Structure 1
């Protein structure tokens, strides 16, 4: 299948359902907690953005607002930064891995903007698997790792077809 057809099939906005890191075959705590929120968007023009955040009050203080005030505790903003991530840039299909509209590997990046400064300009692979069900389309994104004892799985539900 041509890469532009795959990109068109993936295009849309997805809502975060679950983020699960695994270490040595055991589920590890997610930096986004047990009830994360987020959106992942792929456009048919080859751009993407991802936003994820925890919702638990112990890691997501409700007493701070944007814009930050001088009276805000730095510790509160540290928690927000540690338990949220956003990045955006271009994306493409990794052509060295067999790909269809149902599975393959994406390349996120180079990143144009990111909440983590070191991510700007970076690229990273994401394996994807599309699961079409009666109720919705689900996207499983897993992050390849050089560490054979670590894997991360993120489930998304399509909310808008793009």
Structure 2
């Protein structure tokens, strides 16, 4: 049975809370290294709508990466180094999204974020990020993709809305 992309987009549309990631080396061995930018317990959310737009926002869960005295209402509060620290430990981008056709023979479909229209890093503007996805009946979604350091990451999300 073939599932049309628009049906998959309806199933994915909504808000997803990041649960965790498990990374593996190419030989299948699990990596126990934490993400250098986001740490071992980052927080994140994905938002998708049926019109084909998405946003992704992640931040480090380490208190030392998130100076508490920073406030966007008072840009003169905090040092440039503190503001840079927040940026260094945050990922944020948005733009269009699409999915591939899936079939019974293929466990995972492919989801593409982009080309990005907004990104926290200038080098991420206009890029496409592709991941394999699996939707589970318990409102869990898994992404599988290469991490920036070349490992294979399995990211898990749960539906919030």
TM-score computed with the length of structure 1 as normaliser = 0.83
Q: How far 1:73 moved relative to its partner? A: 1.3
1:17 maps to which of 16, 19, 38: 19
Which range moves more in the overlay, 15-24 or 34-43?
15-24
Aligned 1:67-146 pairs, distance under 5 A: 67=73, 69-94=75-100, 98=102, 103-133=108-138, 137-144=139-146
Gaps of 5+ in 1: none
Q: Distance in 1 between matches of 2:16 and 2:44?
A: 8
Which is richer in strand? 1
Distance verdict in 2 for CA 1:68–1:128, change over 3 Å: farther
Go from structure 1 to structure 2 and tell me whether the alpha carbon gap of 1:82 and 1:67 turns closer, same or farther (over 3 Å shift).
same
Check 1:128–1:117 CA distance in 2 against 1; reply closer, same or farther (3 A cut).
same
3-state SS of the aligned residue for 1:111? coil
CA offset digits 1:119-155 (Å, max 9, x no partner): 111112111111222xxx11111224698x5112221
SS at match of 1:110: coil
TM-score for the superposition, normalised by structure 2? 0.83
Q: Whole-Å Cα distance in 2 between the matches of residues 146 and 88 of structure 1?
A: 19
Q: Structure 2 CA distance, aligned partners of 1:156 and 1:126?
A: 14
Question: Partner of 1:156 in structure 2?
Answer: 157
Q: Comparing 49-58 with 67-76, which one deviates more in the overlay?
A: 67-76
| Offset at residue 51 of structure 1 (A) | 0.4
Give the match's secondary structure for 2:51. Answer: coil
Q: How many residues align?
A: 153
8 Å CA contact 2:53–2:95 kept in 1: the answer is yes
Deviation for aligned residue 1:59: 1.2
